[in-house]
Amino acid sequence: MKIKSDWILPDLKAAQKRTKNAVPYINHFELEDYVRYIGKGKKYYISTFGCQANQRDSETLAGILDAMNFEPSEKPEQADVVLINTCAVRQNAEEKVLGEIGNLKRVYRENKDLVIGVCGCMAQEEKLVHTIIDKYPQVRLMFGTHNIQDLPNMLYKVIYQHERLIQVYSKEGEVYENLPVHRFGNDKAWVNIMYGCDKFCTYCIVPYTRGKERSRTMEEILKEVNELKKDGYKEITLLGQNVNAYGKDLATNYDFATLLAKVAETEIPRIRFMTSHPWDFSDAMIDVIAKYDNIMPFVHLPMQSGDSDVLKKMGRRYTAESYKTLFDKIQDRIPGVAISTDIIVGFPNETDEQFQHTLDMVNYCKFDNCFTFIYSPREGTPAAKMEDTVPSEVKSKRLAILNQTWNKYALEKNKQYEGKVVQVLVDGPSKKDPSTFTGYSPENKIINFTGENIKAGDFVDVYIERAKTFSMDGKALCYNKNK
């Protein structure tokens, strides 16, 4: 397939570069008349894969499309613009996306004016973009994580000037403020505190797809939180690939602990944050989480492996011992805290003994929840070049053993809640059974419960009758709308 001269294709080498250059802050967003009415009488549909950062990006895409007078659509079949916001973290995430793009071929056949756009982390990958150029002619637009704010202009070009457009910058990135946002939730909201990642764990593609670590200012974050509070939001989640690094790139001496305390003082009812790296998780952070009632007692602390040699090869900057020390400290100093983790099995050449160290660590920590993955080589990362002699059957077997192990502890942990009362922020009626409601406890446990006169956004006290591995069942005692 011919590459057009005005296309900008991704370049993983360029994306890897880190300089000490100041981060550009851009807080001006305005639509010119030639793009403002492109969406009049037209609809959009956004499909989002992957992490919370992507969900938040989709809210910005929706906000921009609203500003261009598009309306949201329930189904891709009714849309004029379909955007697929993609994830590149593992091969199976990519396969799901390619499956969805494949399915859209049928819709495109019936409506040749349909604009199918692919954006997000997969668009930052060289190989993937070439695959889509060659094999998926129904995709008329591809743009990267650094190009979102230019959506109006890109759509103008695709709709009025070109057949296809590819615009993927590979750079450290900027901080954009004041982009429009269409929040998908009415009670819970995502708040970016920083973008990108500089950790370069050897297995991970994220630092290449999302640029360098760059923080929003504390003033902007607090302004957003206060507005959310005023709009009636009950819970916010502060987002960053590695929130402990917050503020390191700013000229001020704010760090994450300072920010967290300031956010708590807004008195928004519930605060969560994601994700913390075990390296650089400060005592001050632990103290702040313990001090404020509206910071939820829940920490997601990715361990990745319980073996120090594997951790070193992963470039994780901590050992199994230091992870344990931090884990104990968090558990001892934050009353009632729940701790979850991410674990990768089958990192190149992981031995049985090294895998056993991971199991030992799970037996020690007894996590409340684990997200477990088989290592997936990502082109362009250092680990993808490492020799790997572990057969895939062995990796699958390790994953099954690991899951059995942590499931046992998750159930054990949940059993401790039986006969107790927890406060639940209600998401709404359960999809399977409208007489049952579902929501989350402060410790991030999924609670399904029965009750009356309950709606999304209520805080309800729930008596826990039965614990399961992934959720708990109970009944509402009373509810208090205003807390």
Minimum distance from residue 385 beta carbon to ligand SF4 (Å): 16
**Integer Cα distance of 215 and 250 in angstroms:** 7
Which string of x and - marks every residue 61-90 that binds ligand 5AD (by CB under 6 A)?
----------------------------xx
Residue 31 or residue 386: which is nearer to ligand 5AD going by CB? 386
Nearest CB to ligand SF4, comparing residues 241 and 448: 241
In the bound state with ligand SF4, the residue whose beta carbon lies nearer, of 128 and 197, is 197
Residue from 156, 254, 364, 373 touching ligand 5AD (CB under 6 A): that is: 373
The site partner of 378 among ligand SF4, ligand 5AD, none (C-beta below 5 to 8 Å per kind) is ligand 5AD
Which residues carry a binding-site annotation for [4Fe-4S] cluster?
51, 87, 121, 197, 201, 204
Q: How far apart are CA 392 and CA 398, in angstroms?
A: 10
User: Does residue 459 interact with ligand 5AD by CB under 6 A?
Assistant: no
Q: Which of 203, 208, 228, 225 is nearest to 216 (CA)?
A: 225
In the complex with ligand SF4, the residue whose CB is nearer, 62 or 201, is: 201
Q: Write down the least CB distance from residue 438 to ligand SF4, Å.
A: 29
Residue whose beta carbon is closest to ligand 5AD = 342
Closest CB 483 distance from ligand 5AD, rounded Å:
32
Q: Does 403 bind ligand 5AD (CB under 6 A)?
A: no
Considering beta carbons, is residue 17 or 333 the nearer one to ligand SF4? Answer: 17
Contact partner, 101, from ligand 5AD, ligand SF4, none, Cβ < 5-8 Å per class: none
Name which of ligand 5AD, ligand SF4, none residue 234 binds, using a CB cut-off of 5 to 8 Å depending on partner kind: none
Q: With contact defined as beta carbons under 8 Å apart, do 278 and 323 qualify?
A: yes
Cα 421 to chain centroid, rounded = 30
Least distance in angstroms from the C-beta of 200 to ligand 5AD: 12
239 binds ligand 5AD (CB under 6 A): no
* For ligand 5AD, the closer CB: 132 or 204: 204
Q: How far is the CB of 392 from ligand 5AD (least distance, A)?
A: 13
- What is the Cα–Cα distance from 263 to 227, expressed in whole angstroms? 12
Interface with ligand 5AD, residue 344, by CB under 6 A:
yes
- First and final CA of the chain: distance in angstroms? 59
Pick one of ligand 5AD, ligand SF4, none as the site partner of residue 395 (Cβ within 5 to 8 A by kind): none
Strand ordering across the sheet containing 338-345 = 298-300, 338-345, 369-374
Under the criterion CB under 6 A, does residue 361 sit at the interface with ligand 5AD? Answer: no
The verdict on 55 binding ligand 5AD (CB under 6 A) reads no
Residue 373 site contact among ligand SF4, ligand 5AD, none (CB < 5 to 8 Å, cut-off depends on kind): ligand 5AD
Residues β-bridged to residue 267:
none
Q: Residue from 44, 136, 195, 203 that binds ligand 5AD (CB under 6 A)?
A: 203
* Interacting residues toward ligand SF4 by CB under 6 A: 197, 199-201, 204, 206-207, 241-242, 277
**Which residues are known binding-site members?**
51, 87, 121, 197, 201, 204
Residue whose CB is less far from ligand 5AD, 16 or 480: 16
Interface with ligand 5AD, residue 12, by CB under 6 A: no
344 makes contact, choosing from ligand 5AD, ligand SF4, none, with CB < 5 to 8 Å by partner type, with ligand 5AD
SS (H, E, C) the chain: CCCCCCCECCCHHHHHCCCCCCCCEECCCCCCHHHHCCCCCCEEEEEECCCHHHHHHHHHHHHHHHHCCCEECCCHHHCCEEEEEECCCCHHHHHHHHHHHHHHHHHHHHCCCCEEEEEEHHHHCHHHHHHHHHHCCCEEEEECCCCHHHHHHHHHHHHHHCCCEEECCCCCCCEECCCCCCCCCCCEEEEECEECCCCCCCCCCHHHHHCCCEECCHHHHHHHHHHHHHCCCCEEEEECCCHHHCCCCCCCCCCHHHHHHHHHCCCCCEEEEECCCCCCCCHHHHHHHHHCCCECCEEECCCECCCHHHHHHHCCCCCHHHHHHHHHHHHHHCCCCEEEEEEEECCCCCCHHHHHHHHHHHHHHCCCEEEEEECCCCCCCHHHHCCCCCCHHHHHHHHHHHHHHHHHHHHHHHHCCCCCEEEEEEEEECCCCCCEEEEECCCCCEEEEECCCCCCCCEEEEEEEEECCCCEEEEEEEEECCC
User: For residues 63 and 382, which CB has a smaller minimum distance to ligand 5AD in the complex?
Assistant: 382
* 214 interface partner picked from ligand SF4, ligand 5AD, none, CB below 5 to 8 A per type: none
How many residues bind ligand 5AD (CB under 6 A)? The answer is 12
Interaction site with ligand 5AD (CB under 6 A) = 89-90, 203-204, 302, 304, 342, 344, 373, 375-376, 378
